[in-house]
């Protein structure tokens, strides 16, 4: 029997682990008021992580790496130690957007440094509460750990120049996981220009979920993505979104389906659209 953890954990399983000292529960909600929401109510025992402060190195100009570039390895090591996470910790992450907020991004970053025991909570905060996991507004007390030693990002990332080459190459697939209206250039709530990278295909991350907001089964996801990827090497597949966060939701879905994790284009549309690259936009008469 395999000891490899599934990248997805269900609320019922989390409840059984509630008192485990090995488990570190992380609240990865993001957006305006996320930390205040955490302070008002969070899953009991959960520690908060901030997308902009802890999971990215936000620059003043998104043209340089997008809205959420990866932090330095040194900075990420400090974040993990501050949270009390060691290489032996079993980390379980949730957010309030079915993993698409920052939970999957943190999962990807931990996987990328070689951390084995990391999972995302299926259904997120709402599902855990509905299942009966207790909530709290208390300050969570925990001790930091010794420095988490990190040598490199072990999962593949793509640069803007690699995406430029890949989008015109039939051997590659560039996947945009944003919703269809953003891809089609009908709306853009976050970046300056609406549209998509020419040559990319649109597979919204929301298609990874069923009608109840849970990840579809590994079998269903495997059938879907194997049809798209075919026999291509994962190195030939690049996944992106607006700023390299939501794309991790699809990378998580692929991993859950047993598919090797493709490349992440961290800069995504937020970088591409600010660098005088060719754009596919909706023309309005």
Task: Please write the tens of the pLDDT for every residue from 53-72.
Answer: 999 999 889 999 999 999 99
| 282: in domain | no
Instruction: Give the pLDDT confidence score for residue 1 in this predicted structure.
Output: 38
Tell whether 280 is covered by a domain: no
Question: Are residues 20 and 123 part of one domain?
Answer: yes
Render pLDDT for 180-205 as a digit per residue (tens, 0 to 9): 999 999 999 999 999 999 999 999 99
Is there a single domain that holds both residue 257 and residue 216?
yes
Give me the residue label for tokens 């069923």. Answer: 210
- Judged by DSSP in three states, 196 sits in strand
Strands (E), the chain: 8-9, 23-27, 42-43, 47-48, 90-94, 118-121, 135-136, 173-176, 201-202, 237-240, 263-264
3-state secondary structure 136-194: ECCCCCCCCCCCCCCCCCCCCECCHHHHHHHCCCCCCEEEECCCHHHHCCCCCCCCCCC
118 and 176 assigned to the same domain? no
Reference 100, options 182, 179, 40, 45; nearest CA is 179
Closest by CA to 176, choosing from 270, 274, 103, is: 270
Is residue 145 included in any domain, yes or no? no
Nearest to 267, CA basis, from 103, 63, 75: 63
Q: Is the same domain home to 56 and 165?
A: no
Share of the chain above pLDDT 90, in %: 92
Residue numbers of the domain that contains 189: 160-272
Same-domain status, 103 and 164? no
Looking at residue 284, its pLDDT comes to 40
CA angle 91, 92, 97 (to 5 degrees): 140
* Residues above pLDDT 70, as percent of the chain: 98
| pLDDT in the model for residue 131 | 97
- 254: domain CATH number? 3.40.250.10
Number of neighbours of residue 220 by Cβ within 10 angstroms: 14
Q: What is the mean pLDDT of residues 26-51?
A: 97
Kindly state the tokens that stand for 272.
Answer: 């591409």
Question: Is residue 142 included in any domain, yes or no?
Answer: no
Please tell me whether residues 217 and 164 are part of one structural domain: yes
pTM over 0.85? The answer is: yes
Looking at residue 99, its pLDDT comes to 84
pLDDT band at 285 (very low <50, low <70, confident <90, very high): very low
Annotated active-site residue in 80, 93, 241, 248: 241
Q: What is the number of structural domains in the chain?
A: 2
* Token pair belonging to 144: 């930091």
**Is 282 a residue whose pLDDT tops 80?**
no
Mark whether 49 and 116 lie in a shared domain. yes
My answer on whether 15 and 130 are in the same domain is yes
Clarify whether residues 113 and 191 are in a common domain: no
**For residues 39-50, average pLDDT:** 98
Asked if residue 218 belongs to a domain, the reply is: yes
The question of whether 241 is a catalytic residue gets the answer yes
- Which of 104, 136, 168 is the last residue before a domain boundary? 136
Give the C-alpha separation, 217 to 209, whole Å. Answer: 9
Q: Assess if residue 284 is contained within a domain.
A: no
Quick one: average pLDDT of 10-34? 96
Q: Is 27 within the bounds of a domain? A: yes
Q: Is residue 51 part of a domain?
A: yes
What pLDDT score was predicted for residue 3?
A: 66
83 pLDDT exceeds 90?
A: yes
For residues 126 and 207, state if they share a domain: no
What integer pLDDT is reported at residue 234 of this predicted model? Answer: 86
**Which of 136, 171, 186 is where one domain is finished?**
136
Each residue's pLDDT tens digit, 100-147: 889 999 999 999 999 999 999 999 999 999 999 999 999 999 999 999
29 and 118 housed in the same domain = yes
Residue 23 has pLDDT above 90, yes or no: yes
Q: Are residues 68 and 179 in the same domain?
A: no
Rounded to an integer, the average pLDDT of 152-174 is 96
């Amino acid at each position: 029997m395999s000891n490899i953890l599934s990248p997805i954990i269900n609320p019922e399983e989390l409840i059984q682990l509630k008192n485990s000292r090995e488990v570190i529960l992380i609240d990865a909600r993001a957006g305006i008021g996320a930390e205040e929401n955490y302070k008002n109510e969070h899953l009991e025992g959960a520690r908060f992580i901030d997308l902009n402060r802890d999971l990215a190195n936000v620059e003043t100009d998104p043209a340089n790496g997008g809205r959420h570039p990866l932090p330095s390895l040194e900075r990420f090591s400090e974040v993990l130690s501050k949270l009390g996470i060691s290489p032996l910790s079993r980390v379980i992450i949730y957010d309030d957007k079915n993993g698409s907020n920052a939970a999957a991004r943190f999962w990807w970053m931990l996987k990328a440094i070689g951390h084995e025991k990391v999972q995302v909570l299926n259904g997120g905060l709402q599902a855990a509460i509905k299942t009966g996991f207790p909530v709290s507004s208390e300050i969570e007390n925990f001790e930091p750990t010794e420095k988490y030693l990190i040598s490199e990002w072990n999962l593949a990332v793509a640069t803007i120049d690699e995406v430029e080459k890949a989008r015109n190459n039939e051997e590659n697939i560039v996947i945009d996981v944003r919703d269809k209206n953003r891809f089609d250039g009908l709306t853009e709530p976050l970046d300056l220009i609406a549209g998509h990278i020419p040559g990319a295909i649109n597979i919204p991350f929301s298609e990874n979920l069923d009608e109840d907001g849970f990840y579809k089964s590994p079998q269903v996801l495997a059938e879907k993505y194997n049809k798209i990827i075919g026999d291509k090497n994962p190195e030939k597949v690049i996944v992106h979104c607006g700023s390299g966060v939501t794309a991790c939701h699809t990378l998580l879905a692929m991993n859950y389906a047993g598919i090797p994790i493709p490349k992440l284009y961290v800069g995504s549309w937020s970088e591409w659209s600010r660098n005088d690259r060719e754009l596919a936009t909706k023309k309005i008469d």
